[in-house]
Homo-oligomer: A and B are copies of this chain.
Amino acid sequence: MVTLKDISKETGVSLTQVSRALGGFSDVNEQTRERVREAAQRLGYRPNSIAKGLKTGQTGFVAMVIPSDIDASGREIMFDMVVGISQAISRHGLKFLLHVVDSNADVTGAFDELYYGGGIDGFILTELEEPDPRVSYLKERKIPFVVHGQDAVAEHFFVDLDNFRVGEALAGRLLDAGHRRILFLNGNDHRIYSSTRTAGARRALTDRGIAPETIHVSYGPMTRARGREAAVEWLRSDEPPTAIIAGNMMLARGVYDAAAELGLSIPSDLSLVAHDDVLIQYPAEGFDPSLCVTRSSLSEAWSSLATLMSRAIAPESPEIEHVLMRPELVEGASVAEPSGSASAR
């Protein structure tokens, strides 16, 4: 292993100056710095992050703690999430640690273990619930953390999609097309984003002076199977919806399945809008007719997350920051006027 000492011997420059040269300090002669750089390169020096970590208290390790018993709906996108986060973290020069604990109850214990004993600088929290015990735990101990999936204003670092706008835009698009019986297939009801999206949809209604019961919100897992089942159930009811809002692309898939099953064609018999997280596994291109969506790439969110994280773990506890990703409305061929109403009401 090549160390600073080796470079010092090689160049005749003192250990201190070698460190400072490589560290980019101003009180080192540019000529010296170049000699040091050259030697470092030639000898194949790699800074030992463990030693650095011991001295500075910063190792560059960032961890995510998840229980092994995640529910099925979580698993479906969890891998994409983990990969995306890990990649974004690496790009910021940090290292990503995935720590799996047996159950939800062990999560906070793992925080202690990893932070105080394991050289972990900070944590990433996702899929927040309300209230979430992890947040208060970390806050009390002043352990740095960044949250994804928290769009209510809060006193900690977070990045999230602007879910209010998502609900508002999707509902608004259908209302403006003339729909007055809408089914909103939303996420699980204890998730913050679900209620925020509902609130956005409500705002779309009140802004237009339309009755609240125009949109019926159904909460549940965001899977293809549920999309199909729920859509079939409601489309077969006495007063079937003329349009559906799907919370993500998997639900949208299920709705397409249901439409095919019931012989309904999109958009003439049923309009559909959805939110698109731009997941690799569920591309928007796969839909025929093309789907009208609010779009916001999750991978951009991961990138912001990593940026926030590198700020959050800075030594002098820094200003808390938020990032709210703004969704983009992408038109598609999945929306038409409701069939019954010839543009009249």
Contacts and interface: CB of A to CB of B under 8 A. Distances in A.
Contacts of A78: 79
Q: How many copies does the complex hold?
A: 2
Given A78-B79, A79-B82, A82-B79, A50 B101 contact: no
Interface in A51-103: 51, 53-54, 59, 61, 66, 68, 72, 75, 78-80, 82-83, 86-87, 90, 95-102
Interface stretch (A115-123, A202-210, A237-245, A264-272): A115-123
Contacts of A343: none
Contact of A50 (B59, B97, B100): B59
A186 to B, nearest CB: 24
A104 interface: no
B102 A87 contact: yes
A75 B68 contact: no
Contact of A82 (B48, B97, B98, B114): B98
A46 B116 contact: yes
Contact of A49 (B51, B100, B117): B117
Given A50-B50, A96-B98, A99-B95, A75 B86 contact: no
Contacts of A47: 117
Given A1-B116, A79-B82, 9 more contacts: A46-B112, A50-B53, A50-B59, A61-B97, A78-B79, A82-B82, A83-B100, A87-B101, A97-B98
Interface of A: 1, 46-51, 53-54, 59, 61, 66, 68, 72, 75, 78-80, 82-83, 86-87, 90, 95-102, 112-114, 116-119, 281
29 contacts: A46-B112, A46-B113, A47-B117, A48-B54, A48-B119, A50-B50, A50-B119, A53-B119, A54-B54, A66-B83, A68-B87, A75-B79, A75-B281, A78-B79, A79-B79, A79-B82, A82-B98, A86-B100, A87-B100, A87-B101, A90-B99, A90-B100, A95-B97, A95-B114, A95-B118, A96-B99, A96-B100, A97-B98, A98-B98
